[in-house]
């Protein structure tokens, strides 16, 4: 059963952990949820200890009561499996299922997420409780959706992991000889002569073997996905409701989220901005565009956000008035079919007592709850958007192998960070008002006018050929420094970078990497400058667009363009300053013929089009500035059910297009 058909509009609600409260609070919850317009509550995420008070003995009575109560109150349930937090009895019975860190420390219970996914006792117990829940609630009228686990993020280096890793390696490489070759074990006397010598990349004296580290990341991601599929399939055997798991912000989970996108019925992400103001809005778009892309463009669900939570380094900042609505509509703009929060009611005790919630400690007579209620009203008016999608003409390449490959020991500069590079590329497009997809380097890219490859360190032969074809057939591609440098086994490309087919499309050959000193500037002939990195690039058909004017590379090419086939291959060999990177991206957009969904808006005003399969269209327009902004054309605003001509400071409209 489709979630949206079931809800009849956009989803709105949050994690509901009623086990922290008593009856009088539950009764108030019922009333407040109605008042706020909540229609979906995630229940049971961390309830293992209550559901299975001792091994194999289940107690569903309290959950029965809550599901019945929510159902009577008209609220659908996103029912979670509680497997992210095994209870203390589990630890004591199965100490071998506790995670071990790379330095050999075995963690203990007392927090959450303390388990090893490869431990048979854990996997068995997780499957058992998922199955028990599915058998009992598979067709419960309250249950609209299943929420497997919570943010698969724990890694482990224990003996179970070592055994599972060896099985995975055997399947991938076929033989120990092939593994030795792939990992380059001829160097540093690392040659393996039997499988049981092979370990997960635990703490070592110096650099860990890079191939081993990359394969471990791949292995762990596959293992986590298998753990998800175990539970999903147990649930599917007893329920026709959609199943998902919540994915998290970049880097938090060491997972290939593309693979998860293929296995979930609806992509769900949690999103907590990492900086305030306009950066939070850009971050929201980044998160939303990733979520939509992982699901191949399908509508997705914002499973968690904070009413008042902006993680900014060493402190948690409050959201400004109006940001609860604007961030939520930001997610809706980028294709979400609903927005939920962590959590409904702020905990009075326990590990997250200072984390924001829909009902804060202060209670319903509070700014937060008033903004939550206002959001519920707004979402209630946007039901017609449910099921519509977002189309992008520009894409940023996003590849888990490249990310993991850049995290192995011994990179030539500590200023190379995969997700930072991705964010910069996305941000330049977002600042230009352009809606952006993420795509994998081996995807069919033909629907994009412009593709940015900001950090494609690892590039397989197939992907290199795919990118060559994309340009030949008319695409505009910008490849940035330190890309196409290693193959799928992390072996350096010999004879010059990047990988040969891509080199052909770019018309260049990179001969040497020259990381810059910290704070060193590489000044280019067009007045722009690069930091962190430079390269000695040779022209092999491309034209020089800008050259280096300083340092060892003075006079050498820095930025190139190659007219190849029907398209253009650009290469940028340094990390350009933000302003000039934006100028370059604007130029590429103009040349490629890609632009904003709604042209004519000033900087800081975001507009994204959603489109229904039957052709109906809407513009979600968000004013992140403190100015009044006139709309390019007046339109019918669903939020006010009236014609809108302008946006107040911080205001939002959702325009139904004629
Ligand atoms: C999420 C998690 C929630 C809660 C939240 C706080 O990552 O799934 O359970 O801890 O963070 O921001």
Query: pLDDT tens digits for 13-23?
Result: 999 999 999 99
Q: Can you tell me which atom of ligand 1 is nearest the CA of 246?
A: 8
Residue 535, both tokens: 């390269």
Q: Would the pLDDT of 171 be above 70?
A: yes
Ligand 1 midpoint to CA 592 (Å): 40
Q: Which of 16, 304, 357 to mutate to test the pocket of ligand 1 (most atoms within 8 A of CB)?
A: 304
Those residues with Cβ within 8 angstroms of residue 583's Cβ, 6 or more apart along the chain or in another chain: 528
Please indicate whether residue 159 is annotated as part of the active site.
Answer: no
Does residue 1 have a pLDDT over 80? no
* Mean pLDDT of all residues in 278-302: 98
Q: Which atom of ligand 1 is nearest to the CA of 46?
A: 9
Pairwise CA distance, residues 144 & 1, whole Å: 8
Q: Is the pLDDT of residue 62 over 70?
A: yes
Q: Please give all residues whose beta carbon lies within 6 A of any atom in ligand 1, as ranges.
A: 150-151, 270, 272, 304, 306, 342, 352, 355
Among 113, 308, 342, 351, which is best to mutate for testing ligand 1, by the most ligand atoms less than 8 A from CB? 342
- 373 alpha carbon to ligand 1 midpoint, in Å? 22
Pairing of strands 529-531, 522-523: antiparallel
Kind of pairing between the strands at 557-564 and 567-572:
antiparallel
Tokens matching residue 97:
């299922």
What is the atom index within ligand 1 of the atom nearest the CA of 311?
A: 12
Helices (H) and strands (E) in the chain, counts: 18, 28
Residue 356: its pLDDT value, please? 97
Residue with CA nearest ligand 1 atom 5:
342
The mean pLDDT value for 640-649 works out to: 98
pLDDT at position 4: 86
Full 3-state SS string of 96-132: HHCCECCCCCECCCCCCCCCCCCCHHHHHHHHHHHHH
Indicate which atom in ligand 1 lies nearest the CA of residue 150: 8
In the predicted structure, residue 396 carries a pLDDT above the cut 80? yes
At residue 50's C-alpha, the angle toward residues 127 and 247, to 5°, is: 50
Task: Give the pLDDT band (50/70/90) at residue 176.
Answer: very high
- Of the residues 52, 223, 304, 535, only one is catalytic, namely 304
So what's the pLDDT on residue 5?
Answer: 87
Please tell me the distance between residue 358's alpha carbon and the centre of ligand 1 in angstroms.
14
Counting residues of the chain whose pLDDT is more than 90, the rounded percentage is: 98
Query: Please, which pLDDT band fits residue 580 given cuts at 50, 70 and 90?
Result: very high
Separation CA 309–CA 284 (nearest Å): 13
Under 8 Å CB-to-CB from 535, ≥6 apart: which residues?
481, 482, 510, 511, 512, 513, 514, 573, 574
In the DSSP assignment, the letter for residue 497 is: B
List of residues 6+ apart from 30 with CB closer than 8 A:
69, 73
Residue nearest to atom 3 of ligand 1 (CA): 342
- 546 band by pLDDT with thresholds 50, 70 and 90: very high
CA distance linking residue 12 with residue 492, whole number of Å: 49
Q: What is the 3-state secondary structure (H, E, C) of 175-241?
A: CHHHHHHHHCCCHHHCCCCCHHHCCCCCCCCCCCCHHHHHHHHHHHHHHHHHHHHHHHHHHHCCCCC
**Predicted local confidence at residue 147, as pLDDT:** 98
* Interval between CA 151 and ligand 1 midpoint (Å): 8
Which token pair is 155? 């890694």
Q: Which atom of ligand 1 is nearest to the CA of 272?
A: 12
In this prediction, residue 55 carries a pLDDT of: 97
State residue 478's pLDDT score: 99
Task: Name the closest-CA residue to atom 4, ligand 1.
Answer: 342
DSSP 8-state class, residue 501:
H
Residues 290, 269 contacting (CB under 8 angstroms): yes
pLDDT average, residue stretch 80-87: 98
- pLDDT digits over 104-143, tens only? 999 999 999 999 999 999 999 999 999 999 999 999 999 9
pLDDT, position 635: 97
CA 540 – ligand 1 centroid, Å? 51
Go through the chain and tell me how many residues it has: 658
**Both structure tokens of 298:** 């399908």
Q: Helices 210-236 & 120-137, crossing angle to 10 degrees?
A: 30
Instruction: Output the CA 266–ligand 1 centroid distance in Å.
Output: 19
Residue from 270, 315, 355 to probe ligand 1 pocket by mutation (most atoms less than 8 Å from CB):
270
pLDDT at 524 over 80: yes
Closest approach atom of ligand 1 to CA 151: 8
Residue 591 annotated among the catalytic residues of the structure: no
Which residue, by CA, sits nearest to atom 10 of ligand 1?
352
φ, ψ (nearest 5 deg) of residue 606: -105, 140
Name which residue sits closest to atom 9 of ligand 1, judged by CA. Answer: 342
587-597 pLDDT tens trace: 999 999 999 99
Centre of ligand 1 from the C-alpha of residue 342, in Å: 6
Q: Phi-psi region for residue 9, left (φ > 0), alpha (ψ -120 to 50) or beta?
A: left
Query: Do 339 and 11 meet the contact criterion of CB atoms below 8 Å apart?
Result: yes
Average predicted confidence (pLDDT) for the chain: 97
- The answer to whether the CB of 288 falls within 8 A of the CB of 389 is no
Q: Which of 352, 353, 356, 357 to mutate to test the pocket of ligand 1 (most atoms within 8 A of CB)?
A: 352
Kindly state the percentage of the chain with pLDDT values over 70.
100
Contacts of 275-279 with C-beta under 8 Å, sequence gap 24+, read: 275/310, 275/312, 276/310, 276/312, 276/317, 276/320, 277/624, 278/604, 278/624
pLDDT tens across 221-253, in order? 999 999 999 999 999 999 999 999 999 988 899
Specify the ligand 1 atom closest to the Cα of 309. Answer: 12
Beta strands in 356-475 (DSSP E): 394-397, 436-439, 450-453
Mean pLDDT of 442-461: 98
Neighbours of 22 (CB within 10 A): 8
Query: Looking at 52, 151, 223, 323, which residue is catalytic?
Result: 151
Residue 271 Cα, ligand 1 centroid: separation in angstroms?
9
């Amino acid at each position: 059963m489709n979630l949206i058909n079931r809800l009849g509009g956009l989803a709105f609600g949050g994690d509901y952990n009623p086990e922290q409260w008593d009856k009088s609070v539950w009764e108030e919850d019922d009333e407040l949820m109605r008042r706020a317009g909540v229609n979906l509550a995630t229940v049971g995420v961390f309830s293992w200890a209550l559901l299975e008070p001792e091994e194999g003995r289940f107690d569903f009575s309290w959950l029965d009561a809550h599901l019945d109560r929510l159902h009577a109150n008209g609220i659908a349930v996103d029912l979670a499996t509680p497997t992210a937090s095994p209870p203390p009895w589990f630890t004591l019975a199965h100490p071998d299922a506790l995670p071990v860190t790379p330095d050999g420390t075995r963690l203990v219970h007392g927090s959450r997420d303390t388990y090893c996914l490869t431990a048979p006792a854990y996997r068995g117990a997780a499957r058992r409780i998922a199955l028990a829940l599915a058998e009992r609630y598979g067709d419960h009228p309250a249950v609209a959706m299943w929420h497997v686990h919570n943010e698969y993020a724990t890694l482990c280096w224990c003996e179970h992991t070592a055994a599972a890793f060896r099985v995975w390696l055997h399947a991938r490489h076929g033989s120990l000889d092939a593994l030795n070759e792939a990992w380059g074990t001829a160097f540093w006397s690392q040659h393996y002569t039997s499988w049981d010598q092979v370990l997960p990349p635990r703490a070592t004296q110096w650099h860990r073997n890079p191939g081993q580290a990359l394969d471990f990341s791949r292995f762990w991601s596959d293992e986590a996905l298998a753990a998800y599929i175990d539970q999903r399939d147990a649930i599917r055997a007893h329920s026709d409701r959609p199943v998902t798991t919540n994915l998290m912000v970049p880097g938090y989970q060491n997972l290939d989220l593309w693979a998860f996108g293929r296995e979930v019925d609806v992509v769900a992400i949690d999103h907590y901005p990492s900086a305030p103001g306009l950066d939070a809005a850009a971050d929201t778009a980044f998160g939303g565009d990733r979520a939509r892309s992982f699901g191949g463009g399908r509508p997705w669900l914002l499973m968690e956000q904070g009413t008042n939570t902006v993680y900014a380094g060493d402190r948690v900042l409050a959201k400004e008035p109006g940001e609860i609505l604007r961030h939520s509509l930001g997610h809706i703009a980028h294709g979400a079919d609903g927005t939920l929060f962590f959590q409904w009611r702020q905990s009075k005790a326990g590990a997250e007592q200072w984390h924001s919630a829909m009902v804060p400690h202060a209670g319903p007579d509070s700014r937060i709850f008033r903004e939550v209620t206002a959001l519920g009203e707004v979402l209630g008016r946007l039901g017609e958007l449910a099921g519509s999608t977002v189309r992008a003409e520009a894409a940023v390449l996003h590849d888990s192998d490249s990310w993991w490959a850049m995290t192995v020991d011994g990179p030539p500069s500590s200023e190379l960070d995969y997700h930072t590079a991705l964010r910069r590329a996305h941000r330049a497009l977002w600042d230009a008002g352009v809606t952006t997809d993420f795509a994998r380097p081996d995807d069919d890219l033909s629907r994009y006018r412009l593709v940015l490859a900001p950090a494609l360190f690892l590039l397989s032969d197939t992907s290199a050929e795919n990118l060559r074809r994309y340009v030949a057939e008319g695409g505009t591609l910008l490849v940035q420094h330190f890309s196409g440098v290693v193959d799928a086994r992390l072996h350096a490309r010999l004879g010059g970078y990047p990988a040969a087919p891509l080199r052909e499309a770019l018309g260049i050959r990179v001969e040497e990497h020259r990381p810059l000193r910290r704070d060193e500037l590489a000044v280019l002939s067009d007045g722009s400058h690069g930091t962190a990195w430079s390269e000695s690039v040779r022209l092999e058909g491309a034209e020089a667009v800008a050259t280096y004017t300083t340092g060892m590379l003075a006079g050498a090419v820095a930025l190139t363009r190659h007219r190849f086939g029907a398209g253009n291959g650009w290469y940028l060999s340094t990390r350009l300053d933000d302003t000039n990177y934006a100028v370059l991206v604007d130029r590429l957009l103009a040349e490629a013929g890609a632009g904003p969904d709604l042209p004519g808006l000033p900087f800081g005003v975001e507009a994204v089009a959603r489109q229904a399969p039957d052709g109906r269209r809407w513009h979600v327009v968000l004013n992140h500035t403190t100015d009044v902004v006139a709309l390019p054309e007046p339109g019918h605003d669903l939020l006010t059910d009236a014609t809108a001509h302008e946006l107040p400071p911080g205001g939002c409209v959702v325009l139904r297009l004629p």
